[in-house]
Amino acid sequence: MANPFSLEGKVALVTGANTGIGQGIAIALAAAGADIAAAGRSEPTETQKAVEALGRKFLSIKADFGSIEPVQRVVDETVAAFGKVDILVNNAGIIRRADSIEFSEADWDAVMDTNLKVVFFLTQAFAKQALKQGGGKVINIASLLSFQGGIRVPSYTAAKSGLAGLTKILANEWATKGINVNAIAPGYFDTNNTEALRADQDRNAAILARIPAGRWGRPEDIGGAAVFLASSAADYVQGITLPVDGGWLAR
């Protein structure tokens, strides 16, 4: 019997794969057999080395996802290099922190554009290609703030809540067309986005006290969920937002 979790022969496009969660996902997908196209502002040198060490092909695409400008080009370059694209991981994102009473329009727009608007249009461009190929898998990287409110991150909470809804509507529209759309909601992970929280002694202690696993997540903790949702094992899974949070939401 074929391994339902195998990604042999698949091509995955991962945004923001140079560090953190995106890097962890790209390496996990490669370990399961996928070739990787990594798109983002920073050169993903470490990710490339890890993927190629696993015997997989790697393509680096320079792209700033602050606007929709690179969206079609990123898909086109992936297809030009590999002949197709089977998996899209929408991981690239930004965060801005300030009290809501003082939050600026510029910070609101920057986060909403990167974390929601560009994600939609990149997914749309991917889906047009996937339909030609007979299907594909979309994995959106949501957040615990797709379920909760958080504090001092109003645009981030709005965007990630919107992303959970977007995951559902696209699943509704595309499920019969062979495209699976799901999301992963990482808990508190040791990444660049959480550096300010980990540096705040009180906030760090409060967060750790609520996580049943007793530690911050590591990028490699997210890989198994991504492989599952990208694989044929998840062919009948549609529209979910899967928490990978050390038990945070269960507390």
Question: Which is catalytic among the residues 65, 82, 126, 156?
Answer: 156
From the list 221, 220, 224, the residue with the least C-alpha distance to 247 is 221
Output the CA–CA distances (angstroms, integers) from residue 115 to 73, 92, 152, 178, 193, in the order listed: 19, 7, 17, 25, 13
Asked if residue 90 lies in contact with residue 106, where contact means CB atoms within 8 angstroms, the answer is no
CA distance 90 to 128: 16
Residue 31: burial class (beta carbons within 10 Å; 0-12, 13-18, 19+): middle
Structure tokens at 114: 């990167």
Residue 108: burial class (beta carbons within 10 Å; 0-12, 13-18, 19+): middle
CA 165 to chain centre: 15
CA dihedral over 221, 214, 161, 165, signed as positive or negative: positive
CA distance 151 to 145: 10
Q: What is the CA radius of gyration of the chain?
A: 17
Is 188 designated active site? no
CA distance 82 to 36: 9
CA 143 to chain centre: 10
Q: Which amino acid appears at position 14 of this protein? A: V
Active site positions, annotated: 156
